[in-house]
Chains A and B, each alone.
Chain A
């Protein structure tokens, strides 16, 4: 709550500064201790300084509503940051923070919406555009950026209200696999790299299943950071720690086949050089001036 209060204060101070800039001789603005009253006053004043549309017959916005919204936004953003930070490793932000994010978005919409039905004025004017820094907008943008970078929307349904079934299934398989890792590893020798082959054998089906699910999700463009991270860590466990990826190398046939193919052009060029008839060009005699003494001066060729 501390930061929310600080936020409000700074916001109001900002407004106050603006007002001070315009009306430095007004004593009331300087010593007022009642935040509510001052803000209401400041808001009305700043509205009156706005261009013509604010002078429309609409009744002025009730400052209390806006302050309430501001409060709400502050709470929401605090919740969301808390959730994001605590879910940062291993990354599970999409699955666990979507409610907070949705809440934030709703509040933001409320701020943007007109307060009374007929009115065109919303709290957005007051809260979002009244100063130079646009703190709320900046916060909102930051959360949006995190959300887009994480591609969370591909794991959630259209309204960010619930996790997609495919995502849930994937996470379930993932949990199964980790479970399998832990069980097998635990029963064998912990802290030893030597004997993980059992892990490879026992968990292979689950690993493969997970991989398949991942590929499918990739095709459907429904990957978010949670899934990617889960898959990445699994893969590095699988190939790195357990060393289960043992591809078959068949170097000899590959060398044989490639040598054969590389040999073909040699045969081709040799045979075409030896057997193909060389293309000849017929020279044509150019018609030149018959009696030209001038050109005869050039006849004498030094080289001869």
Chain B
């Protein structure tokens, strides 16, 4: 891309370059500004800032805009804001951090003093209760989805089957095709409409969003009740609509929303406050519960409680402790048990706990299922294939997603796109089934919807068994149907077409997951592989059970697409219920990840990038030690004095250009730059303004109720905007004393600290603001998430991303 703002190899530059070089550089830069391609960051500066030096700095931080900017150069003088097409190398301003760090202000200390030891024990018990509730509700939601999908799919397939049967006899199968395609399109249209027009954040699997949330990014609307409702209905409709999607990924999102909702004891969407769990109304607690909810979701989706815990661990590990892990495990277990129990009642076998997850891989414990040591290299080879196919999948999907963001951004277009995909999916399936001559005799366990079509009576169309059903049962059939149920051509064609269908489908404006399509795809080519092994050799190979290879292929494909490691291994092992598979599955997943990472990142990471989310990875970019906090920070900082005039505060908060959230509080009259004494958040200021906590008012009526921490919690999580708070002209002249409310000991770093050091502090503590001070504790600047997330290792070493409004 021409617009990628790169900056080449910072790290390679020797540190000794002195002031002379710097000066020369500055001069060179200044002269270069005229002739060289203008720079993104510098584009708008001349208007707004008189300081040309700032302009220059801004100019130099991002370079290499390439040909596209030649024309922009001439407009430089007139343009205020530069616009570029969406790319993956942007950071959006709309995402903020969660306030994971506790504000230890005086109110907090007072509350802690007031609550005795026993009360804290109650809080601990409450946490367990909440985790249990999270598990139960998540399990129930999973049941609901499962039952609804089963019932609706049954109706749909029965209608189509009877139609096809009728027209097979009389002729006119094109009507059946039209019926199938339009039925799919209509169902998907409803699903897509609710997502596109009611809650767009419910689109997709939700795993990238939850990953971001656990990473500490506040994604707007992601844990709202409305999102949950749209997500659940959307996923039912898209699975019933016959798209190449699964219902497992969305369970993770649903679990997270359930957790965020229950732990707050109220719903702001429904405007209902149950007056319980008030203690947990802050980001720290909420995020801990969300990790439990995500784990419960995984556990309900795959029947993998340990895998769920490890999923949360893999995605949000920096904020974990042992007790929290144990609670999350509890939630996971409760969730899978609830699902199992309710489904056993639904299946009229109460107490028969055989379906611990939404997807049931079936049992892998027969003799053919066991593997021999010499098969391990074969499995590793399959892992490599899975990695490559996964990389291809991701690259294609990435390209498609960029196209979608740029061109298919209008909501009605998104709905139409989803409908088209649904219709095309049905058409491809129909044509494949129509043209397939692979007939298999009906068996006891053949499946639910058998299409005969042109097969002799008493036989069914094998292609139909792969396409004419929900993806979950296709996966199960590929795993467990006896050898010879599918012929290689059928599987090959199926794999090829399903690959493109699944790739095309992911990223549509419907809520749907990618787990099942990946598994299905992998199971198809894995089974094909197993069949070919049997065919290639002359002797009968007893060990080449196609079902086993289907499983390994599924693992390889899924690993190649999502690139999860530890948690995915455990999930697969738990879903198969065979611990001896742990080793080969691990090998397969490791290989898939290594091979895939050579080409392109995992699907979720790609989508996070494309959403321009300031996501902090585990470590700072490896070659960034030469960068110091001084270069990373944002400056000038908007600060407040310990005793500040209300008018100034209101003005700062209402400034639309700078939507700051944390403000360093400095000592009055401490010179320039002033000395740091605390940090206060926008939300706190808004609550203070709302309650009019002004010095003058307190002086007038000392009996005034003192603000408590509860007042802040009550306003959480949707603090009113500053515009809704009315401050009269007289009040603007009042003073506010912030010392009681600010966090008196914010984390600070000296300005010489290196980027990895700052990064580590930020990531490990879940900070939102990090104040950079000089040796006299005077505020130099402020580091936020976006300042750190913009450094990334690109093709040419360290790159810096641009900030953009999205």
Contact = CB atoms under 8 A, between A and B. Distances in A.
Do A and B interact?
Answer: yes
A282 B84 CA distance: 7
Interface string A237-261: 0111000010111110110111001
A302 to B, nearest CB: 6
A290 B636 contact: yes
A300 B25 contact: yes
- Interface size range on A against B: 35 or more
A265 B631 contact: no
A89 interface: no
Nearest to A207: B457
A6 to B, nearest CB: 34
- Interface size range on B against A: 35 or more
Interface in B388-432: 403, 405-410, 413, 416-417, 420-421, 423-424, 427-428, 430-431
A146 to B, nearest CB: 15
Contacts of B780: 289
Nearest to B21: A297
Contact of A232 (B82, B458, B803): B458
B406 A278 contact: yes
B682 interface: no
A281 B83 contact: yes
A194 B329 CA distance: 70
Given A289-B780, A292-B631, A276 B410 contact: yes
Contact of A253 (B26, B84, B174, B635): B174
Given A258-B431, A290-B57, A297-B17, A281 B806 contact: yes
Nearest to A244: B457
A88 interface: no
B424 A292 contact: no
Contact of B423 (A251, A261, A296): A261
A235 interface: yes
Nearest to B442: A232
Nearest to A289: B635
Nearest to A240: B456
A26 to B, nearest CB: 47
B406 A279 contact: yes
B635 A279 contact: no
A132 interface: no
A200 to B, nearest CB: 12
A261 B181 contact: yes
B36 to A, nearest CB: 6
Contacts of B458: 231-232, 235-236, 239
Interface string A274-304: 0010111111111111111111111111111
A194 to B, nearest CB: 19
B431 A254 contact: yes
A272 interface: yes
Contacts of A52: none
B630 A276 contact: no
A262 B424 contact: yes
A226 B144 CA distance: 38
A264 interface: yes
Given A236-B458, A257-B177, A281-B84, A299 B26 contact: yes
B591 interface: no
A52 B28 CA distance: 105
Contact of A295 (B57, B431, B454, B457): B57
22 contacts: A258-B430, A261-B424, A261-B427, A276-B410, A279-B409, A280-B84, A283-B41, A284-B93, A284-B803, A285-B45, A286-B61, A287-B634, A288-B631, A288-B633, A289-B633, A289-B780, A290-B54, A295-B631, A297-B13, A298-B10, A299-B25, A301-B63
Given A276-B413, A288-B57, A299-B22, 5 more contacts: A254-B431, A262-B428, A281-B804, A292-B57, A301-B7
Interface of A: 231-232, 235-236, 238-240, 245, 247-251, 253-254, 256-258, 261-262, 264-265, 268-269, 272-273, 276, 278-304
